[in-house]
Amino acid sequence: MIGNLDELQFEGGYPTAESIGKLYDQLDLQRAAQAYLDFMPAISMQALLDMHPRDHGVSETGGMIVYTEPGEGRSKDIGLTYNTESMYASASVDLKQTGPAVIEVPPNVLGIINDGFFLYLADLGNAGPDRGRGGKYLLLPPGYEGDVPDGYFVFRSSTWRNWVMARGFEQDTGRGEAALAYYKAHFKVYPLGDGVHQPSVVSASFTPSDSTFARDIRYFERLHQMLQYEPLSAFTPEQLGLLHALGIVKGAPFQPDERIRRILADGVRLGDGMAKAIMFASRDPEARVYPDRHWERVFIGGYKFERDGARLLDARTLWHYGAIVVTPAMEAKMVGVGSQYLATYRDASGAWLDGGQDYHLRLPAGIPAKNFWSVTVYDTETRSLLQNGQPKPSISSAFDQPEVNPDGSVDIFFGPGAPKGKEKNWIRTVPGKGHFVWIRLYGPLEPFFEQTWRPDDIVKVQSAAPTV
């Protein structure tokens, strides 16, 4: 690889043989790192869909996994910034197998359809065209030219493989077996013309899974597999050109030689380091939510990651390196309906959050959430729920009944040990391991959007004698 650019030698304007080798190595490395960043949404989606049969035994298209137990039931999963509160139902829909697919949606859910590139296709439920009343959706496969019956909300996908997800609320779904029965009865995914039915529905709670993408040569192997399965029309010529340059070609085996394998491995390492920098230290001014504190947006440029017609590449990476699900309902102003997110990686002084230190977060009175709010701690390396020995690394108004101060504010504590008397409002952190914090507001209210309500920064405090 090129070290010092001054090492490059040219004779009569022509690069020397040694310089040619270095330049091509560098070119291939840059393309590998760029492919890692550019295809991250697609490979993240493939990892999520692959998880259904591998970890939960649900291989039938339209088969559904349901997180029937909030909190502890999901806390051992490795998945990008999962929450611990929602009753998720998740289905992989392969239109190559089904043809047009019907999705029957129950009332009062927050749901989405994302395609194989994690591109937004539709909202379901409260933020969708059924407006929370429930309804029937029809998802059409790539290039479909057949009849489209009446009575459906119709959407088209550019990919065979797609993801359908809904988040229900316990007051509607119940929990445990009740939640499983609810989704079996009310949330159905099946081929058009096969009659109303629901393929297998299984509980995913207390069954650890991993939906994160590989960060080694397997990344490119999975990308090759995706290219073989999906229609060429799902890819742009530029995307295909980038893959071709790395030896990933439709209809051809992926057989990189030792040189290319080494470069691809280095490309993943370089791209992953860039993704970390983008996520944890965004240089986009739009990232900062408030000028006087360290809370950041997780969506920049909206759900399309665009500004003035330009794709914000770093914004796309920021989201997809750390999270799943793409919908305007998670970033647009939808008072009392959607959800909103705040993230921080630093304390009030600007230092990275440290698992060996003690911290305090104050949420001022009047937390603007119609449904509920939560505070969750994640592992910086896996971007997943921090494995901290507690039943779950989160506190929410929905399930935990945290102590509320007389003025209506709520204090949350982080650290290896709980401050005396504050155990209900404490999330354990792990010495030697980095972490970051998300605040979620479900059904966000005007004070959030107007910024008349603002969470304090996380403040480092003097270590107290642990009680737990």
Q: Are 25 and 263 in contact (CB under 8 A)?
A: yes
What is the number of helices (H) and of strands (E) in the chain?
Answer: 10, 22
Q: Which among 235, 240, 268, 239 has a CA at the least distance from the CA of 252?
A: 240
Could you report the per-residue pLDDT of 273-318, keeping only the tens digit for each? 999 999 999 999 999 999 999 999 999 999 999 999 999 999 999 9
pLDDT in tens, 23-32: 999 999 999 9
Nearest to 468 by CA among 412, 407, 425, 410: 425
CA distance 419 to 468: 9
Question: Quick check: 68 and 158 in contact, CB under 8 A?
Answer: no
Residue type, 191: P
Task: Output the CA torsion sign for 410, 412, 418, 419.
Answer: negative
**What residue ranges do the domains of the chain occupy?**
58-203, 333-461
Tens-digit pLDDT profile for residues 342-353: 999 999 999 999
| CB of 127 closer than 8 Å to CB of 327 | yes
Measure the CA–CA gap between 64 and 343, rounded to whole angstroms: 30
Look at residue 79 and tell me whether its pLDDT is greater than 60.
yes
- AA letter at 91: A
371: part of which helix (H) or strand (E)?
A: strand 369-379
With bands split at pLDDT 50, 70 and 90, how would you rate the model's confidence at 73? confident
pLDDT digits (tens, 9 = 90+) for 321-341: 999 999 998 888 889 988 899
Mean pLDDT to the nearest integer, 95-105: 96
Question: Is the distance from CB of 422 to CB of 362 less than 8 angstroms?
Answer: no
In the numeric block, which tokens belong to residue 190? 């099946």
**pLDDT tens, position by position, 32-58:** 999 999 999 999 999 999 999 999 999
Question: Residue 2: pLDDT above 90?
Answer: no
**What confidence score (pLDDT) does residue 1 get?**
61
Identical fold, 58-203 and 333-461: no
Average pLDDT across the chain, whole number = 94
Confidence at residue 80, expressed as pLDDT on a 0 to 100 scale: 96
**In this structure, what token pair is assigned to residue 380?**
């910086």
pLDDT number for residue 174: 86
Helix (H) or strand (E) segment spanning residue 40: helix 40-56
pLDDT at 83 over 60: yes
Of 25-39, 71-85, 235-249, 448-462, give the lowest mean pLDDT range.
Answer: 71-85
What sign results for the dihedral spanned by CA atoms 197, 199, 200, 203? negative
Cβ neighbours for 56, distance < 8 A, ≥ 6 positions apart: 65, 202, 204, 207, 209
Query: Is residue 468 scored above 60 in pLDDT?
Result: no
* Closest C-alpha to 86, from 73, 70, 75: 70
Has this prediction a pTM greater than 0.75? Answer: yes
Mean pLDDT of 233-240: 97
What CA–CA distances, in Å, run from 302 to 295, 305, 330, 373? 17, 5, 9, 22
d(CA 457, CA 358): 14
Q: Each residue of 217-255: b (16+ CB within 10 Å) or e?
A: bebbebbbebbeebeeebbeeebeebbeebbbeeeeebe
DSSP sequence for 124-188: EETTSTTTTS-EEEEEEPTT--S---SSSEEEE-SSSEEEEEEEE-HHHH-STHHHHHHHHHH-E
Give the β-pairing of 410-415 and 426-428: parallel
Provide φ and ψ at 273, rounded to 5°: -65, -40
CATH topology of domain 333-461: Jelly Rolls (2.60.120)
Mean pLDDT of 361-373: 96
For the chain, percent of residues with pLDDT exceeding 70: 98
Q: What is the DSSP string of 124-138?
A: EETTSTTTTS-EEEE
Residue owning tokens 């022509």: 14
The single residue listed with the structure tokens 């392969």 is 94
Does residue 465 carry a pLDDT above 50? no
Query: What is the 8-class DSSP label of residue 101?
Result: E
Tokens of 298: 């997780």
- Structure tokens belonging to residue 107: 């009332």
Q: CATH says 58-203 is which class?
A: mainly beta
Which residues lie closer than 8 Å to 186 by C-beta, 6 or more apart? 104, 106, 134
Residues 6+ positions from 274 with CB-CB distance below 8 Å: 33, 37, 317
Which range (32-41, 57-66, 234-243, 252-261) has the least confidence?
57-66
